[in-house]
Amino acid sequence: AHRRLALPPYPFEREYYWFESKLTYAKLSTLLTQSLFESVLQLPSGSKLYSGKISRHRYPYLSDHVIFDQVILPGAMYVQLALETQEDKAKEQGYFIEDMVFEYPLIMSSTDSIVLQMLVNDSSQFEVYSILNDKSAVRHCYGRFIESVVFKRKPLDVNQYKKQARSVISSKAYYEFLSDNHFHYGLSFQGVHAVYQHENYILAEVNLKADGTYIAHPALLDSCMQVIGALSWKDADQFKTYIPSGIKAIQLLRALPAQLWVFLLPVELEKKEVSFQLYDLSGEFLGLIDGVQLSAFNYQQLGQGNGSSIDRYYELIWTPVCRLLPMEKPPVNTKELTAWLLISNQKTELTALAKELIPWGIELHTRCWNEINNLDILKEIHVSRILYGVFEEKELSSWLVENTESICIVFLEFLQQLIKHLESMSYWIPLDIITSSCGPASSLWGMGRALQNEYSDWLVSLFDSDEGLEGSLLARVRLLHDLAGHADNQFQIKNNEVYTCRLKHSHLPADARQIQQQLAKMPYRLVANEQGLLSSFNVEPVKKTVLQQHEIELSIEAVGLNFRDVLLAMHLYPDSTRYLGSDFSGVVKKVGSSVVEYAPGDRVLGLSYGALATDLVVEDSQIVKIPELLSFEQAAILPTVFMTVLHALQDVAQLQQGEKILIHSASGGVGLAAIAYARLVGAQIYVTAGDARKRAYLKEAGLNSVYDSRSLGYGEQLLEDTQGLGVDVVLNTLTGPGFIETSLGCCAKGARFIELSKRDIWTAQQVANKRQDVEYHLIALDELLANNPKQTVSLLNRVLAWVQDPSFSWIPYTTYPMTQVVQAFHHLQQAQHIGKVVLVAQSVIATEDVYLITGGLSGIGYALCEWLIDQGAKNIALLSRRKASTAQLKQLDLWKACGVRVNFYSVDVGDKQALEQAYYEIQSDLGLIKYVFHAAGVLSDALLKNQTAASVKKVFRGKVFGAWYLHELTQHNELKQFVVFSSIATILAPVGQSSYAAANLFLEKLIEYRQACDLPGLCVHWGPWRDVGMARSYSHQFPCLNNQEAFFSLHYLLSHTQTRSAYVLSANWTHYFHNKSNIPALFSDLFLRNEAKQSGNLFFQLKQESESKAGDLLSRALNQLIGILLDHPKDYHLDPN
């Protein structure tokens, strides 16, 4: 029997029992000696394989190597790995590496433990690979070792070169410069202490304390290479583009000391090659880094190494804080009341409310807007809080939009009076700006955010409620009571739930990242991977070549997949090609000199292997024009399937009326096309299919003789149904054991057996041995067309004549976007489809659509026009107040000569009548508008106290009224998208841009309204663009987006129609807020992420501090992290005890 045991009342005895492992000691020893490799394996081939694990936890300093907001393993680490394997050989003659190439960057997450392997062959060539989560290896670097004596050089007279320097860049200024250009190095990698510049040379002091026995500490060597940035100190845009991609030669006399000098001669960065020499503190020569090769680099490249991506997308998220419970009267001494002043647009009597607030210690005074000619009341009574409220109808209307401007102007005039009074009183009374879920009034939030920035010491809060005037005031009282001391100053209340807003990163869907990254670097093609797996595909660039006489360059719109593509991807097809896709439809981009039947813009379909791409070059004998009524998707399903069926059943089998035909796998593309042809000629149809769902579909399609293709029972059933006569034609795709025999048994005398399969098929002799009377034909369309290419056009034209017959019924097809290519192949492999599977190009720009762009001749608008044309757009209307320049007029003529209609309309979009007239002209000239891009706008920057009604109207005219008038004109059109270009000013509200922030915030509310009305809408809040756009005023604070990066983002947002609003920018938030005493709560989540990302800094700092100082440093760091978690202000200090 079981006995009940008496357990101790407390489960822990607080004693430690450590398990001692030899493996643990071995690894610890390895770390202490700083050896990166844990094992070396001598291979039979004579090669050596070095292996080790690397992680940010194991080497915390790596967390400080941040590029484009990602922790990247530094290239200097690969150098150290290579040097480490040569340490024994190099002690006497030095270290020598040649032709080192860096291929793909290695992104390191905070949790990844990555296996690094270096393979060194007997020819002294080496390769470095990474393996993450047991996935396939990725090669990051390769090079070779040379046994060579390093040539010594004369000592460097450091003091002389320092004295001759024309300027000196401090460490702080230099790393701010690098940070502005996407290189966010933490302390562990900030080794450059000073840079001495001269027109003939650059000298840099590098000093980095690092423990261990490294030959070249990765952080130290990386700091040396960072000096390259000094070459573009005066031209920041140059440095953004280049990073080291290879090194011709590395020569080191000995291991590098922690302090050294870097000397390099200035070169033009366009030459893309830099060399520098290394000297110790006394000026003795240490080594040479020769031929550092620089290559163009952008943020999309970071995803190539291991599938990760860089996110430039942000979204504003409202997160719940608390729920407001019914008010309870607090214990307040009502003899000591504090005065609140409410100023609103309503004259409602609030006597009852005022009485209700007295127990809370609040004496409420109310004024209407038009009663505030001056603010003498502030001198008459001691007001402790001012509330400014705008309460309007909740739904946007034309009247309210017209009123938006006056709402902001009245508020501005009130603010200017209030600021004047408060400055004279030297006391800043807390101000609440209260709106009531109203689109137009929400523009005040833009002004309110600007006010918070311009007067950072003034307690200004923004508050939106769905409760109306009285409910909003009561909610505000409860909020002050319930969330006293809360760091947030922007609240929203819905159904008694309190929300605060946070700017958060918005990520690309995981399965779309790699393909989306490649879309920015078009053209590209997808090819089978080396392992034959369907879980991923390789992306290869399509090289641009000069077109031959009969060649045509196409932009691919859709690709029809065949089972051949699945076999190719899995390496199961007799052909060795890795190129996927053959059936395509697209648009002609360019033609060769002898092509006469086709011109740019023509819609075509055809057959060419390797069609799973963005761009394709074909012969003019491989394509035909798409009939007007066919879509790209319909055209893409035709070539292989319908050409095969026509050739097999019309040319070879010569199927006749009244004959019987057995069609195997009849629910697939070929099967359904064969059924359509058999019906066309009047044959009797017998079919098989693999599962009950597909057989049910065929029966619903009107077929009576439907059999199971997964058993051999169909033979007896068919013979029974044909009274033992059998069929005249078999269209075969079944090759498993017994299936060919059974199908031959179903053949009538003299039948034609058409074999379409590629694997496990019979020879003609095998068939003859079984049924000598049966004609056996093996159909290989690819071989047929390869031997007679001209037959492609002939067959395609016959197919088009067939499918345009009024009696033809289209076969079903399933579409996938290009980003879901893996899912499409799995769908096809698992035989889940009925009919065809089609991959649709991600481009959302249709050639035939009409695009309207406001602000079309300036900055972003004109760049957008160029991008749309590059994407294939042929009909664009540019609206602008300004006149076209001579260069622009010439460009418009050039576009028109190429078949692109770009019409210019001189119109002020803030003029409703003029815009309406232009709108109808566009529809008459170009056709129905499908896309609206509202990029018009002007700035009128000034401090709030210097703004005027005229400056507000100047900004609102084009931005606000133009957007609303466009909405009114197009709301009954079947638009594909209505895009408004806003700015990050809506959340940053920089000093001087209150009107601009307010106007752009209205755009966001307009898109919310449109989507509530089931109308398409997208609001893009842009960060600064390089050289164009109004957000370039932030360009000194944020890295600028170039056109490629910006339009990559726009393409992504347009292709994800569920997105309503997005902020697109490249930001170093730590740098942006480094001079501010408090980080606004709106951005706090970003800093929580950055703190986690920079966790390596603390480890490095603690190592460098004395024991007494390290304790204080640790205490301060914990205080900061806890403060972030608890939403405390930046200057809040916890009691360390």
Q: Mark 538-576 as b/e (b = at least 16 C-beta within 10 Å).
A: ebbebeeeebeeebbbbbbbbbbbbbbbbbbbeeebeee
pLDDT tens digits for range 961-1015: 999 999 999 999 889 999 999 999 888 888 888 999 999 999 998 998 888 888 8
Model pLDDT, residue 872 = 82
- Please give the C-alpha separations between residue 271 and each of 50, 264, 299, 721, 1114, in angstroms, as whole numbers: 36, 15, 22, 79, 46
Q: Mark 829-864 as b/e (b = at least 16 C-beta within 10 Å).
A: bebebbbbbbbbbbbbbbbebbbbbbbbbbbbbbbb
Strands 684-689 and 623-625: unpaired
Asked whether residue 951 falls in the same domain as residue 1016, the answer is: yes
Q: What is the pTM of this model?
A: 0.57
Model pLDDT, residue 1137 = 65
Average pLDDT of the chain is 82
Model pLDDT, residue 30 = 35
Model pLDDT, residue 569 = 83
The identity of residue 644, as a single letter, is T
Q: Return the higher-pLDDT residue of 638 and 138.
A: 638
Compute how many other C-beta atoms are within 10 angstroms of the C-beta atom of residue 977: 17
User: Could you tell me which of 958, 1007, 952, 954 has the C-alpha nearest to residue 978?
Assistant: 1007
Q: Return the higher-pLDDT residue of 272 and 119.
A: 119
Least trusted range by pLDDT, from 24-38, 514-528, 560-574, 632-646: 24-38
Asked whether residue 502 falls in the same domain as residue 514, the answer is: no
Total count of domains within the chain:
6
Asked whether residue 1045 falls in the same domain as residue 1116, the answer is: no
Q: Mean pLDDT over residues 390-406, rounded?
A: 68
pLDDT tens digits for range 908-946: 999 999 999 999 999 999 999 999 999 998 888 889 888
Least trusted range by pLDDT, from 123-132, 348-357, 870-879, 958-967: 348-357
* Exposed / middle / buried, residue 194 (Cβ in 10 Å: 0-12, 13-18, 19+): middle
Least trusted range by pLDDT, from 108-122, 235-249, 664-678, 807-821: 235-249
- Please give the C-alpha separations between residue 1013 and each of 122, 465, 1010, in angstroms, as whole numbers: 70, 22, 5
pLDDT range class, residue 295, cuts 50, 70, 90: low
Model pLDDT, residue 628 = 87
| 3-state secondary structure string across 731-763 | EECCCCCCHHHHHHHCEEEEEEEEECCCCCCCC
Q: Which domain holds residue 287?
A: 59-100+145-301
Model pLDDT, residue 306 = 37
Q: Are 1130 and 1077 a contacting pair, CB within 8 Å?
A: yes
Q: Are 937 and 959 a contacting pair, CB within 8 Å?
A: yes
At 541 the three-state DSSP class reads strand
Q: Return the higher-pLDDT residue of 517 and 260.
A: 260
pLDDT tens digits for range 268-280: 655 678 899 999 9
Asked whether residue 275 falls in the same domain as residue 216, the answer is: yes
pLDDT range class, residue 310, cuts 50, 70, 90: very low
How many contiguous H segments (helices) and E segments (strands) does the chain have?
A: 36, 45
Give percent of the chain above pLDDT 90.
Answer: 36
Angle between helices 994-1012 and 962-970 (to 10 degrees): 10
pLDDT range class, residue 319, cuts 50, 70, 90: confident
Q: Which two tokens stand for residue 273?
A: 């090659």
Residue in this structure with the two tokens 């009074």, named with its chain if needed? 421
Long-range residue pairs from 165-174, CB within 8 A, at least 24 positions apart, any chain: 165/196, 165/197, 165/198, 165/203, 166/197, 166/198, 166/199, 167/196, 167/197, 168/194, 168/195, 168/196, 168/197, 169/194, 169/195, 169/197, 169/230, 169/233, 170/194, 174/229, 174/230
Asked whether residue 455 falls in the same domain as residue 526, the answer is: no
pLDDT tens digits for range 158-205: 999 999 998 999 999 999 888 877 788 988 999 999 999 988 889 999
Q: Mark 268-290 as b/e (b = at least 16 C-beta within 10 Å).
A: ebeeeebebbbbbeebebbbbbb
Asked whether residue 625 falls in the same domain as residue 650, the answer is: no
pLDDT tens digits for range 100-115: 988 778 888 766 788 8
Model pLDDT, residue 863 = 92
pLDDT range class, residue 1091, cuts 50, 70, 90: very low
- 839 within a domain of the structure (yes/no): no
pLDDT tens digits for range 220-243: 999 999 998 888 776 654 445 467
Dist. CA 828–CA 1022, nearest whole Å: 40
CA 794, 574, 137, 537 dihedral sign is positive
Asked whether residue 334 falls in the same domain as residue 200, the answer is: no
- 16 within a domain of the structure (yes/no): no
**Residue 1102, pLDDT above cutoff 70:** no
Q: Mean pLDDT over residues 823-842, rounded?
A: 85
Model pLDDT, residue 1085 = 75
Asked whether residue 715 falls in the same domain as residue 652, the answer is: yes
pLDDT tens digits for range 857-892: 888 999 999 999 988 899 999 999 988 888 889 998
pLDDT range class, residue 1090, cuts 50, 70, 90: very low
CATH of the domain at 515: 3.90.180.10
Model pLDDT, residue 243 = 74
User: Could you tell me which of 122, 119, 121, 120 has the C-alpha nearest to residue 130?
Assistant: 119
CATH of the domain at 412: 3.40.50.720
CATH of the domain at 261: 3.10.129.110
* Exposed / middle / buried, residue 442 (Cβ in 10 Å: 0-12, 13-18, 19+): buried
Asked whether residue 93 falls in the same domain as residue 195, the answer is: yes
- Please give the C-alpha separations between residue 103 and each of 140, 142, 243, 643, 687, in angstroms, as whole numbers: 5, 8, 12, 43, 53
pLDDT range class, residue 833, cuts 50, 70, 90: confident
Q: Mean pLDDT over residues 124-139, rounded?
A: 77
Q: Mean pLDDT over residues 623-643, rounded?
A: 93
Last residue of a domain, one of 243, 276, 301: 301
- 1103 within a domain of the structure (yes/no): yes
| 3-state secondary structure string across 799-864 | HHHHHCCCCCCCCCEEEEEHHHHHHHHHHHHCCCCCEEEEEECCCCCCCCCEEEEECCCCHHHHHH
Give percent of the chain above pLDDT 70.
Answer: 81
Model pLDDT, residue 801 = 93
- 1029 within a domain of the structure (yes/no): yes
C-alpha atoms less than 13 angstroms from C-alpha of 375 in its C-beta half-sphere: 21
Strands 125-131 and 138-145: antiparallel
- 442 within a domain of the structure (yes/no): yes
Q: Return the higher-pLDDT residue of 838 and 94.
A: 838
Dist. CA 664–CA 679, nearest whole Å: 16
Q: Mean pLDDT over residues 825-833, rounded?
A: 82
Q: Are 649 and 664 a contacting pair, CB within 8 Å?
A: no
Beta strand residue intervals within 641-683, DSSP E: 660-663
- 121 within a domain of the structure (yes/no): no
pLDDT tens digits for range 440-466: 567 889 999 999 989 988 999 998 888
pLDDT range class, residue 307, cuts 50, 70, 90: very low
Asked whether residue 219 falls in the same domain as residue 85, the answer is: yes
pLDDT tens digits for range 70-87: 788 999 999 999 998 887
| Share of the chain residues as helix, strand and coil, in percent rounded to the nearest 5 | 35, 25, 40
- 515 within a domain of the structure (yes/no): yes
Residues whose CB falls within 8 Å of the CB of residue 298, separated by 6 or more in sequence, listed in order? 241, 520, 1042, 1044, 1045
pLDDT range class, residue 5, cuts 50, 70, 90: low
Peptide bond into 990 cis (omega under 30): no
**Residue 497, pLDDT above cutoff 70:** yes
**Residue 427, pLDDT above cutoff 50:** yes
Asked whether residue 366 falls in the same domain as residue 448, the answer is: yes
**Residue 960, pLDDT above cutoff 90:** yes
Model pLDDT, residue 1071 = 64
CA angle 169, 174, 178 (to 5 degrees): 150
Q: Are 1078 and 1049 a contacting pair, CB within 8 Å?
A: no
Q: Return the higher-pLDDT residue of 295 and 415.
A: 415
Model pLDDT, residue 26 = 34
Model pLDDT, residue 513 = 45
Model pLDDT, residue 861 = 93
| Residue 563 backbone phi and psi in degrees, to 5 | -65, -25
Q: Which of 91-95, 287-291, 717-721, 885-889 has the highest mean pLDDT?
A: 717-721
Last residue of a domain, one of 447, 482, 506: 506
- 41 within a domain of the structure (yes/no): no
Asked whether residue 519 falls in the same domain as residue 557, the answer is: yes
Q: Mean pLDDT over residues 728-750, rounded?
A: 93
Last residue of a domain, one of 631, 650, 684: 631
Q: Return the higher-pLDDT residue of 1121 and 655.
A: 655
Q: Which two tokens stand for residue 284?
A: 């003795």
First-to-final CA distance of the chain? 53
